């Protein structure tokens, strides 16, 4: 190859690289400018969310009409044990990170690569709130980038307790059921403040699979999940040994040995 052709090739490669960088910068600028203003959430509770609207639209396409069950409850009315259980289940480092748990994200990427599938999400409570409030369920790089920026905005504009309060009031607990109060009413017939340890664990256990798992179905997976949560609550001393022993027996199953939980 002649020197002239080499120079032309280098110029072409440089031009392509610059074009890619300019396009990427433009794309990132567009994403950033299209982000929602979250400041209103400081004092106002959202009347609906993107996920709720998506569920209504999905039902409509099937020719059905649904009613969203959601009832707002203040952060102070939600039992501390429920807050601790949800945090253990969904985002143990919630009060220490700035919206993104990079250690958890690294482990999630590692696990997904190892299993060659989307086996672990790695989203924090703040990221889940961002997705539920504003984004679609469709998995894409663009959506994940927007989720990241919205999460950072939420962390900058709101207190941790406010973010957690919003999350607990809009997170999906079952078909058409959103928030801890509506879920408590539907599943246990009581106000969220009246939940006991068993109900708290059962309710929290469904969070990864709200559309396919019922708190009372006693499937092997649900029973394992409840035992795992109880183990963590005892480990972090949110409950005592007596409460643990009294409750864990309610979640025994024939397949318990398969879902082994170490007694540490």
Q: What is the pLDDT along the chain (264 residues), one digit of tens a residue?
A: 566 566 566 666 666 666 566 555 554 554 555 689 999 999 999 999 999 999 999 999 999 999 999 999 999 999 999 999 999 999 999 999 988 877 766 655 555 444 454 444 569 999 999 999 999 888 888 888 899 999 999 999 999 999 999 999 999 999 999 999 999 999 999 999 999 999 999 999 999 999 999 999 899 999 999 999 999 999 999 999 999 999 999 998 765 544 444 433
Pairing of strands 177-178, 69-70: parallel
Rounded to an integer, what distance in angstroms lies between the CA atom of residue 227 and that of residue 145?
35
3-state helix, strand, coil in the chain (%, to 5): 60, 5, 35
Rounded to an integer, what distance in angstroms lies between the CA atom of residue 19 and that of residue 130?
31
**Helices and strands in the chain, H and E counts:** 11, 3
Is there a contact between 230 and 201 (Cβ–Cβ < 8 Å)? Answer: yes
pTM, full prediction: 0.83
């Amino acid at each position: 190859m002649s020197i002239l052709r080499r120079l032309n090739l280098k110029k072409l490669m440089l031009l392509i690289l610059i074009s890619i960088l300019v396009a990427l910068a433009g794309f990132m600028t567009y994403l950033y400018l299209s982000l929602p203003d979250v400041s209103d959430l400081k004092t106002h509770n959202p009347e609906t969310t993107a996920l709720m609207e998506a569920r209504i639209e999905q039902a409509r396409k099937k020719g059905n009409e649904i009613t969203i069950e959601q009832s707002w409850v203040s952060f102070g009315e939600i039992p501390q044990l429920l807050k601790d259980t949800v945090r253990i289940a969904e985002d143990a480092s919630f009060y220490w990170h700035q919206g993104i748990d990079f250690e958890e994200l690294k482990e999630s990427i590692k696990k997904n690569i190892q299993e060659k599938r989307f086996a672990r999400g790695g989203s924090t409570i703040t990221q889940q709130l961002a997705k539920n409030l504003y984004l679609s369920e469709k998995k894409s790089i663009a959506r994940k980038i927007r989720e990241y920026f919205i999460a950072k905005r939420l962390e900058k504009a709101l207190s941790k307790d406010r973010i957690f309060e919003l999350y607990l009031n809009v997170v999906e607990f079952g078909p058409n059921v959103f928030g801890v109060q509506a879920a408590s009413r539907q599943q246990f017939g009581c106000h969220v403040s009246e939940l006991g340890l068993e109900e708290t664990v059962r309710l929290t256990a469904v969070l990864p699979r709200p559309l396919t798992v019922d708190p009372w179905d006693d499937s092997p997976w649900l029973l394992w999940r409840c035992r795992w949560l109880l183990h963590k609550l005892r480990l972090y001393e949110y409950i005592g040994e007596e409460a643990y022993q009294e409750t864990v027996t309610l979640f025994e199953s024939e397949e318990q040995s398969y879902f082994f939980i170490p007694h540490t």
